[in-house]
Amino acid sequence: MELVDHLRDERNKAQFDVEAMKVVWAGSPQELQLCDRMANLVANHPAFEKLKRPMLVRKELFKNSLRKAAYARKLVIDLGLSEEEAKWLRFYIDEPTYPDLHWGMFIPAIEGQGSEEQKEKWLPLSRNMQIIGCYAQTEMGHGSNVQGLETTATFDAQQDHFIIHSPTLTSTKWWPGGLGKVSTHAVVYARLIVNGEFHGVHGWYNYYSFSFFLYLEDHSPLPGITVGDVGLKFGNGAYNTMDNGLLRFHHVRIPRNQMLMRVSQVSREGKYMQCDDVPRQLIYGTMVSVRQTIVAMVSRTLSRAVCIATRYSALRRQHSSSSLVVPCFLMIDYQSQQSRLFPLLASAYAFKFVGEWLKWLYTDVKQRLEANDFSTLPEAHASTAGLKSLTTSATVDGIEECMKLCGGDGYLVSSGLPELFAVSVPACTYEGDNTVLMLQVARFVVKTVSEVGYKEPLGTSSYIRRLNTLLHNNCLVQTGEDWVKGDRIVEAFEARAARMAVTCTQHLAKFQDPEQGFSELSADLVEVAVAHCQLIVVSKFVEKLAQDIPGKGVKEALEVLCYVYALFLVHKHQGDFLVTGYLTPKQASLANRQLRILYSRLRPNAIALVDAFNHTDHYLSSVVGRYDGNVYPNLYQAAFNDPFNDSHVPDGYHQYIHPILNQTLAKL
């Protein structure tokens, strides 16, 4: 049967080379080839079917996810896949499961915080999956406040042991993924007590379950340990494939050498030693690593939602305002639809490029840390925390908007959007609540501003070196066209960020107690941090455009996206730009007018730009976002694929409907 491409006319409108754009989106021809291979491996393997997922009850859902993870592991071994290939394989399986935490947090925690001897012992076991681990930091009473963790690790010099204990209900470890049912081991964060003295929070490599011996049928916890799942989470399917767990210790003994000893050590004699030159913050290093990973991946999540909404918008017709009878307008041709959709399309590209940059920054920091150079850690912390916060919040809001952009059909599970939203929304909370993370960025920015004159601002904060110019020179834009110049746009974002930071720093200086000031001004400080992070995203997009980008029309299409992203933000936050006095109302309205012109330039490329994401239909799992655009027959069929339509007479009909129809309610 001949396949009909319902989006062919839209595809023919493209003004750039889509294959070349696919390479830009993937990062390199090699990355494109790798992702394509892994995506198709998953798409063509029946083991990874996922359409029935939202219909399954938790126990079936969980068993199904274990089966998929086991198949994935088998494929990794049978095909001899590299760690990088295995990572993409897991990504395209598109189901949160215990290996995410094992590979994403447990192993990095040992790598970053273990001594050489500890790494030699535990890493091979972990990499071969002879043990499965998780990252147990959060407690029932303490998530953001890591210093408040209550679990204790008391050194017993006589037996050369640590005694791990949960002294209160609120000290129960609460939320760690993979902990509830699967993991055999955990990196546990607890307060160190040596000779009755507290030494703050540290990490311990710990085992809590007999399941280390995989052949045991009885998967029961070690004595003194209570473990379980925290319970059903938001959205059927979604994150319920993960066994987020709870864990309590009752005076559980572990050998002294299971304390992760890179940052500090306890000797056989019970002497506590902070390792020379290694900052205590290194115990937070795993979070820096995962926040970076989240930013590297988030653009794919947003691109998925945008791809679905763009394709459906380019197919579905609505009435024009002049004729309520003849459906003529494609949804995508409504200005109002474009003004909601195109900034999200531009954001997906913007987040991809900032993610690439952050990966570079993190790789550099990691190498420095290995060589005991900790100088760039504060910058890495602020950038990973801020960008994780900015991009996940925007992505989750964006998915919700895409759902609305598809009208009622977006709300159907078969659109793929509700599940995508449910699985993504906890990203605003895990790895640090987004507001708490923005406050960390604000601390960094305010500190940088306060130190001007005696400490040189570096990296992402180097704009603060030009504070005088940024505070006193106002915007030079006179025409709409003036707004589509990279350096002018970056300068506008620098001026806004600098002015907001200086104002807040001055307000803070009025408080005698800086912490009280920080608390009272926290809402303003979050806005300072947002301005700083948006500047990073905009400037990295502009820097990307300065590179050599091959392919017909590719650079031009990216330029339009970059300006859409930036001018959309200028419009959305015009209050900031106006209040700081950098823009006049006239310049702000020129930005908005230019934005509309950019939407019309983006319009013919819209479908090609989402095709360049190279998403398979399996990954999208969306009837309305199908590549061939053959939506309506499939939407109709999907309704009948729902087991609820197996029968015309649902359970309960005879019992509860017949009495109403027959007026025999009294018998109920």
Ligand X SMILES: CCCCC/C=C\C/C=C\C/C=C\CC/C=C/C(=O)SCCNC(=O)CCNC(=O)[C@H](O)C(C)(C)COP(=O)(O)OP(=O)(O)OC[C@H]1O[C@@H](n2cnc3c(N)ncnc32)[C@H](O)[C@@H]1OP(=O)(O)O
**Rounded to the nearest 5 degrees, what angle is found at the Cα of 502, between the Cα atoms of 499 and 507?**
125
Residue 103 or 122 having the CB closest to ligand X = 103
- Does residue 469 have a known ligand-binding role? no
Check if the beta carbon of residue 291 is closer than 8 Å to that of residue 385.
yes
Q: Write phi, then psi, for 628 (nearest 5 degrees).
A: -80, -5
Q: CA gyration radius for the chain?
A: 27
Instruction: Write down the H helix ranges in 478-584.
Output: 486-509, 514-520, 522-545, 554-572, 574-579
- The angle subtended at Cα 663 by Cα 659 and Cα 668, nearest 5°, is 40
User: Is 230 an interacting residue with respect to ligand FAD (CB under 6 A)?
Assistant: no
Check: CB of residue 7 under 8 Å from CB of residue 629: yes
Residue 288 structure tokens:
């820096």
Confirm or reject binding of residue 101 to ligand FAD (CB under 6 A): yes
Q: Segment 122-161, which members bind ligand X (CB under 6 A)? A: 135, 137-138, 144, 146-147
Least spacing, CB of residue 419 vs ligand X, in Å: 13
Counting contacts by CB under 6 A, is residue 137 touching ligand FAD?
yes
**Please, which residue, 400 or 431, has the CB nearer to ligand FAD?**
431
Does the protein bind ligand X through residue 471 (CB under 6 A)? Answer: no
Residue 427's binding partner out of ligand X, ligand FAD, none, with CB under 5 to 8 Å set by partner kind: ligand X
Applying CB under 6 A, among 44, 267, 281, 637 the residue interacting with ligand X is 281
Stretch of 130-138, 253-261, 362-370, 607-615 contacting ligand FAD, by CB under 6 A: 130-138
Task: Report the distance separating Cα 124 and Cα 130, nearest Å.
Answer: 9
Q: Is 435 assigned a ligand-binding role in the annotation?
A: no
Q: What gap in Å lies between CA 200 and CA 349, rounded to an integer?
A: 41
How many chain residues are in contact with ligand X, going by CB under 6 A?
33
- Judged by CB under 6 A, the residue of 40, 257, 376, 435 near ligand FAD is 435
Query: How far is the C-alpha of 203 from the C-alpha of 404, rounded, in Å?
Result: 44
Tell me how far apart the alpha carbons of residues 614 and 240 are, in angstroms, rounded to a whole number.
27
Residue with smaller CB distance to ligand FAD, 239 or 349: 239
Tell me: does residue 430 bind ligand X (CB under 6 A): yes
278, 436, 452, 635: which one binds ligand X (CB under 6 A): 436
Give the interface size with ligand FAD as a residue count (CB under 6 A). 21
Is 431 catalytic? The answer is: yes
619 near ligand X, judged by CB under 6 A: no
Q: What is the DSSP letter of 461?
A: G
Q: How many whole angstroms separate alpha carbon 27 and alpha carbon 264?
A: 39
Choose from ligand X, ligand FAD, none: what does 239 bind? Cβ within 5-8 Å by kind. Answer: ligand FAD
Find, among 504, 482, 306, the residue nearest to 405 by Cα.
306
Nearer to ligand FAD, 422 or 566 (CB): 422
Region near ligand X per CB under 6 A, out of 428-436, 465-473, 484-492, 514-522 = 428-436
Q: Which does 419 bind (CB under 5 to 8 A by kind): ligand FAD, ligand X, none?
A: none
State yes or no: residue 108 binds ligand FAD (CB under 6 A).
Answer: no
**Chain-centre distance for alpha carbon 309:** 20
Query: Pick from ligand X, ligand FAD, none: which does 244 bind, CB < 5 to 8 A by kind?
Result: ligand FAD
**Residue 250 · residue 165 · CB < 8 Å:** yes
First to last CA, the chain: 55
Q: Measuring CA to CA, which residue among 131, 95, 127, 128 is closest to residue 111?
A: 127
**Residue 51 in the binding site for ligand FAD (CB under 6 A):** no
Looking at residues 573 to 602 of the shown chain, list those that interact with ligand FAD (rule: CB under 6 A). Answer: none
174 neighbors 223 (Cβ within 8 angstroms): no
Binders of ligand X among residues 299 to 328 (CB under 6 A) are 301
- Selected from 99, 114, 176, 629, the binder of ligand FAD by CB under 6 A is 176
Report yes or no: 306 and 625 within 8 Å, Cβ to Cβ: no
Q: What is the DSSP letter of 230?
A: -
Partner interacting with residue 435 (select from ligand FAD, ligand X, none; CB below 5-8 Å by kind): ligand FAD
Binder to ligand X among 177, 180, 355, 486 (CB under 6 A)?
A: 177
| 278: helix, strand or coil | coil
* H or E segment to which residue 24 belongs: helix 18-26
- Establish if 429 lies at the interface with ligand FAD (CB under 6 A): yes
Span from 132-140, 213-221, 456-464, 588-596 in contact with ligand FAD (CB under 6 A): 132-140
* Residue 518 sits in the site that holds ligand FAD (CB under 6 A): no
Query: Burial code of 93-125, b = ≥16 C-beta within 10 A, e = fewer?
Result: bbbbbbbbbbbbbbbbbbbbbbbeebbeebeeb
- Provide the 8-state DSSP code for 175: -
Alpha-carbon distance 540 to 562, whole Å? 10
Residue 212 interacting entry, from ligand X, ligand FAD, none, C-beta within 5 to 8 Å by type: none
Q: Is 297 in the site for ligand X (CB under 6 A)?
A: yes
**Residue tagged active-site, from 85, 431, 494, 559:** 431
Q: Is 138 in the site for ligand FAD (CB under 6 A)?
A: yes
Cα–Cα dist 359/351, whole Å: 12
The residues with which 365 forms a beta bridge, in sequence order, are: none
Q: Which residues bind ligand X (CB under 6 A)?
A: 100, 104, 135, 137-138, 144, 146-147, 177, 281, 284, 287-288, 290, 293-294, 297-298, 301, 377-378, 381, 392, 395-396, 424, 427, 430-432, 436, 440, 443
Binding-site residues from annotation? 138, 177
Which stretches of the chain bind ligand FAD, using CB under 6 A?
101, 135-138, 143-144, 175-177, 239, 244, 426, 429-430, 432-433, 435-436, 439, 522
**Residues annotated catalytic, as ranges:** 431
